Amino acid sequence: MYFPATEGCRDVHNYERLNRIDEGQYGVVYRAKDKLTSAIVALKRLKMEKEKEGFPITSLREINCLLRCKHPNIVNVREIVVGSGMDDIYIVMDYVEHDLKALMSSMKEPFKLSETKMLLMHLLRGVEHMHKNWILHRDLKPSNLLLSNNGVLKIGDFGLAREYGDPLKPYTPLVVTLWYRCPELLLGEKMYSTAVDLWSVGCIFSELLLNKVLLKGTSEVAQLDHIFTLLGRPSQRDWPDYDKLPNAKMIKFGRYSLDRYALLKEKFHFMSESGINLLKSFLCYNPKTRISASEALGHFFFKQHPKPSSSALFPTFPARSKGERRQLDTIPAPAPHNPLNDVMAEFTVDEYGTNQTKNK
């Protein structure tokens, strides 16, 4: 029996690396085998090369959040192992066969509605558990969601996750990958909470239905343009004082449609009224009235026919990570500085909703 608290971290050489799976901003992930038990695991090496003053805070947060969030729909951490050097530190996690983004990119058709409901329920259960434990993920997107051959979706990659509390404290708005970033973060809000994750859930929900990204901006300004074009311009009634957020002062809002959600309903014409209602609740401008994970799990959408699929009946797919390296995500990731301050000074949005460069 191995007791980490008294015996310390085991050596990474207890695992045999089989192949490289993926590389992200905060580490490299390998598929490996435990030499003692022959169990297949995911071995994530933490990036330490730029650290000169101890252990990176992002890795500490990731490990702490993962150890606190023990749930069937969150990737499980087995242990922390070390190599010969001070910068040779690994997180050992359960191996999960697929990431949702790579799987969807290989599919010609979207998931069936019953399968989408099952995946969304799994995602919401994981998000609900995180939020009940006072943890924000802050980077929910399909490439950070894992799907096992048992039909179980698991939330992974907690590199941007952090604890929050009550009362709220100001945090950086430069979180969440651009296509899944909520409007309050794009407008520079620092006092945010669980609602930022639920906007991302809404974007993932739409992507499961369409098998393509809903809001695909190339910059913060373009992303806001896509949001306002799809959902209409926000009003003081819908979202009080939105125009007082830091970056809102740098934007000249154009003439967007006042018929809220008309384009959204047209794009998802195949959805039931309850499905549209749930999607609207995720993509709600006002973070204070945006639906929570617990409320979403009780929504009538999941009780309607077709009912969510059973995990046991979910189709299986060949694991691309067994020897084949997944292509890196091309979605613009959160930048280390705020490019919005640079971009906003150069661009406005005209009355037709297009970007226009200011005359110098």
Residues annotated as catalytic (active site), given as ranges: 139
HEC string of the chain?
A: CCCHHHHCCEEHHHEEEEEEEEEECCEEEEEEEECCCCCEEEEEEECCCCCCCCCCHHHHHHHHHHHHCCCCCECCEEEEEECCCCCCEEEEEECCCEEHHHHHHCCCCCCCHHHHHHHHHHHHHHHHHHHHCCEECCCCCHHHEEECCCCCEEECCCCCCEECCCCCCCCCCCCCCHHHCCHHHHCCCCCCCCHHHHHHHHHHHHHHHHCCCCCCCCCHHHHHHHHHHHHCCCCCCCCCCHHHCHHHHHCCCCCCCCCCCHHHHHHCCCCCHHHHHHHHHHCCCCCCCCCCHHHHHCCHHHCCCCCCCCHHHCCCCCCCCCCCCCCCCCCCCCCCCCHHHHHHCCEEECCCCCEEECCC
Torsion angle of C-alpha atoms 88, 94, 100, 103, degrees rounded to 10: 100
Torsion angle of C-alpha atoms 271, 300, 113, 194, degrees rounded to 10: 100
Calpha distance 241→69 (Å, rounded): 35
263 Cβ partners below 8 Å, 6+ apart? 229, 230, 231, 232, 257
